[in-house]
Chain A
């Protein structure tokens, strides 16, 4: 077995050294009824690298990779070009095979990277501070709602209907068991957001208002007034960003007064990966830092006065506080945070702004071309790189027919909101820099055929 260095002579010598006559002596504490004499039945034995690679490649080939043809899916996961150096650097063994920096003297690489990541995320989201990452955007969103409860001592969260339905599902699942009250609903196919109505429904029980920006239908709106309404009522405004590239072009939620900004960082550096692992972004105003979940890296000095970094404020965390912790999170998403940080460093502000502008410009072109197809109209007033089409028929079968023609043409609202007939004709379309003009033309042509 190529990964196991002990030889049979080693094993014999070591068993003798520990005073055991056989390996079974070391498993003596396992009760007889749970002891297995040989390998677990019904499973194959070890295989060569070549055989395993062949098997996995055969499975991979049963998938249609996004890059094989025109591709327009978004709805919480976006396909962007990731520079080759990102994947090279995250595979350096010193990053890949290290663990949580419990021993800071020999983990400054990871710690400095996390400090840089936190600084980049805080600036991108327009907030004071950010943590060292969460599992993903959906879990970060729920943790933000719980944090708002801790800060405000209130238990009712108002969720915008524009929040990703899976994020809403996660919050609903958790709220069932924590006693938090959620006010939520499906979106309606309108050009504008429901934020004004949300502002009007804040009351004394409201811990937070949760809005997504851009939202699930791709709509963008100014949250300044909503932030003021929250502040006046003693509630927190939580903004959710599932497409952080947008913030190279449109105002950051923190700039508009959001108290907590969470996000899905997958767009930058991480890739699609069929849904995970991703990287949750979690940022907030400085005054709430001690209520944050997750790991935080901070600057300090060593015994010689040299600058260095450590994990800090850990009295919030489970390994110290146990049942009184702010969250049960332990492992975060370190390597994905590294990928995010490297990609963001390669982009820099100038690159991020250009990338965002190209996404927007390409999406506008696509919206214009697709709206020319008979039976198709664009819902949105404004958008970044994602918008919603209203089709003359249910979108869900259209997606499958498009796939037969080689076009992955977006996410149907029928899949995201099963059972809601009012949304059935909606199709959410994302257009990033990876989409070519030929792809747009192919999509429009295929859509025309399918709808004819």
Chain B
């Protein structure tokens, strides 16, 4: 019994049941249903040919003799399986993806091409240093851009994603405090922060306390100052913040925190709004991670990989993690690892990941930055901010914009569910957008706004696209205000209707297992005919 289920569909799909199949297959023309690889593959099938026969192995009791149960497909079946799956995804390549705080901008294909150059893609992280000078040069060149664009002292390149970068910055702060024998344990974090901020602080052993906000959605400077003291290690502030607003008092906040002996961590998730126009170093920031997959457009890939270099102030630079690249007097590059750290970088807090960080993202980000240059990056920030304000001002008559009164937004526009009809929620608006052909905005975040809808259009959308989106969102907002019942069951035209998340969590099914069959009935494998 080698086939897992060669039948290729689940019998119940066409056996009536809850599925209101209009068609025999369940397909709707270009909208194609696709079984799991476990339902169409077999353990005997392979899509890879090998030229040679292996000699017999003598592994004794360590030989893996039991069936593993990994289905294989031929190459043609594999290509079709994943192509069909891909068509069930929304993506930037298909249209506007205004997911607030995620910066879903166009991913230039040049960047894909350069990342695949053999000198980068086919190099081993532990090759002798003289054989990978070009890779070190990329890391160094990107590092110089990041330092210059942020006006900071130095940068730690190895963190693997934004949250990993946060951890890097917070560990730098912790190491700096320890180096001066200071046992401060409290980090102040606004309620509007990304969940990663408090999670990171807790992971590093800090206690998290809220920073109050003002009525216009910014940090309450007076309240913050009142809380500062000898137990406060620092603050974690997102700027521009998650309400889409620039923290006007950032410099005063930094000065107050520094005067009280603390450090300023800035969550750089929203750097796209100010890149090329504002340098966080001028605002007194000590550490800030940069999501290369946001501002510098490395692909989001359905959930990573990200990359989160952390720019550091002079005060925190000595504690940066290993390894890192330095430029030598002769123009060559040298990797500083554990053995050389003693002389060059004795206060490092250590290593965060096995190798050098996300090289494949560095090449893409550098190509992106070189393509834009200083003038293009400034234009990026300006267009991102202009697009967001255009959305804010064209919708604030039909959707509640809680902070719209206080002035322009930065790169994202925030709305709330205030004014929707009884029983209608942000979720309904989001699902309605799906039917209109858009990915919804970020919903229910930030937590400080009821039923938040955070719209980040990015600079890579044209005015025509924005105009159509505004029209679509206006129409949905009006339906939600008028209580259109069809909106409650949206989406109607997506590959799936609303999914039962409660069921998924109550009885978790996280891996495939061959369905149990009634005694005497044919198993799926037997139906498959093998």
Contacts and interface: CB of A to CB of B under 8 A. Distances in A.
24 contacts: A4-B460, A5-B465, A14-B463, A20-B389, A23-B386, A41-B374, A46-B373, A49-B110, A52-B110, A64-B132, A105-B434, A173-B321, A178-B204, A275-B355, A277-B307, A289-B508, A306-B497, A308-B499, A310-B504, A345-B78, A348-B43, A348-B44, A354-B46, A399-B128
Interface string B328-359: 00000000011100000000011111111111
A372 interface: no
Contacts of B303: 99-101, 110, 132, 295, 331-334
Interface string B122-137: 1111111011111101
B79 interface: yes
Interface in A4-30: 4-6, 10-11, 13-15, 17-20, 23, 25-30
B489 to A, nearest CB: 7
A403 interface: yes
A27 B339 contact: no
A242 B304 CA distance: 20
Interface in B39-96: 41-48, 50, 52, 54-55, 57, 59, 61-64, 66-73, 75, 78-79, 81-83, 85-94
Closest 4 CB pairs of A and B: A348-B72, A305-B18, A275-B355, A335-B301
A322 B236 CA distance: 14
A27 B394 CA distance: 19
Contact of A116 (B37, B171, B301): B37
A276 B359 contact: yes
B436 to A, nearest CB: 12
Given A36-B277, A296-B510, A177 B68 contact: no
Interface string B437-468: 00110100100000000000001111101000
Nearest to A246: B64
B372 interface: yes
A315 B508 CA distance: 13
Nearest to A112: B85
A87 interface: yes
A116 B38 contact: yes
Interface string A192-231: 0000000000000000000000000000111000000000
Nearest to B120: A60
Interface stretch (A74-82, A150-158, A439-447): A74-82
B486 interface: no
Nearest to A347: B48
A335 B304 contact: yes
Interface residues of B, number: 206
B162 A330 contact: yes
A11 to B, nearest CB: 6
A56 B195 contact: no
Contacts of A452: none
Given A46-B371, A248-B64, A303-B498, A170 B352 contact: yes
B279 A65 contact: no
Contact of B495 (A52, A62, A108): A108
Contacts of A277: 160, 304-305, 307, 358-361
A371 interface: no
A327 B504 contact: no
A29 B83 CA distance: 46
Nearest to B447: A322
Interface string B145-175: 1001100000000001111101100010010
Contacts of B137: 59, 62
Contact of B131 (A120, A300, A403): A403
A253 B106 CA distance: 42
B1 to A, nearest CB: 13
Interface stretch (A181-189, A336-344, A386-394): A336-344
B118 interface: yes
A58 B135 CA distance: 11
Given A354-B54, A418-B338, A303 B501 contact: no
A275 B160 contact: no
Contacts of B73: 345-346, 348
B130 A331 contact: no
A373 interface: no
Given A135-B164, A177-B171, A399-B128, 17 more contacts: A17-B393, A44-B373, A57-B114, A89-B79, A97-B97, A109-B89, A129-B510, A129-B511, A250-B62, A252-B64, A275-B354, A325-B202, A333-B303, A334-B300, A336-B301, A351-B50, A361-B55
Nearest to B67: A349
Given A29-B407, A346-B46, A61 B119 contact: yes
A53 interface: yes
Contact of B126 (A68, A77, A328): A77
A377 interface: no
B78 A300 contact: no
B57 A328 contact: no
B306 A276 contact: no
Interface stretch (B221-229, B258-266, B362-370, B522-530): B362-370
A98 interface: yes
A123 B78 CA distance: 19
Contact of B499 (A53, A105, A264, A349): A105
B133 A318 contact: no
Interface string B281-304: 011000000000100000111111
A322 to B, nearest CB: 4
A173 B351 contact: yes
A342 to B, nearest CB: 6
A303 B18 CA distance: 9
Nearest to A280: B160
Contact of B461 (A5, A64, A302, A364): A5
Contacts of B278: 27, 30, 34-36
* Most chain A CB within a 10 A radius of its CB, from B106, B108, B353: B353
A313 B122 contact: no
A245 to B, nearest CB: 12
Nearest to B138: A59
A425 interface: no
Contacts of A57: 114, 117
A108 B374 CA distance: 39
Interface stretch (B245-253, B415-423, B473-481): B245-253
A408 B130 CA distance: 11
A450 interface: no
A298 B394 contact: no
A113 interface: yes
Contact of A99 (B102, B407, B505): B102
B82 A113 contact: yes
B485 interface: no
Contacts of A328: 163, 166-167, 196, 199-200, 202-203
A320 B195 CA distance: 7
B317 interface: no
A444 to B, nearest CB: 19
Contacts of A3: 106, 108, 371-372, 376, 460
Contact of B78 (A289, A321, A342, A411): A342
Contacts of A148: none
Contact of A60 (B117, B277, B321): B117
Nearest to A255: B66
B235 to A, nearest CB: 15
Interface in B396-418: 407-408, 410
A271 B124 CA distance: 9
Contact of A324 (B113, B114, B202, B339): B202
B231 interface: no
Given A34-B279, A419-B339, A11 B386 contact: yes
Nearest to B207: A323
Contacts of B230: none
Interface in A391-443: 399-400, 403, 408, 411, 415, 418-419, 433
Given A93-B92, A331-B163, A79 B124 contact: yes
A38 B382 CA distance: 12
Given A129-B510, A302-B499, A94 B89 contact: yes
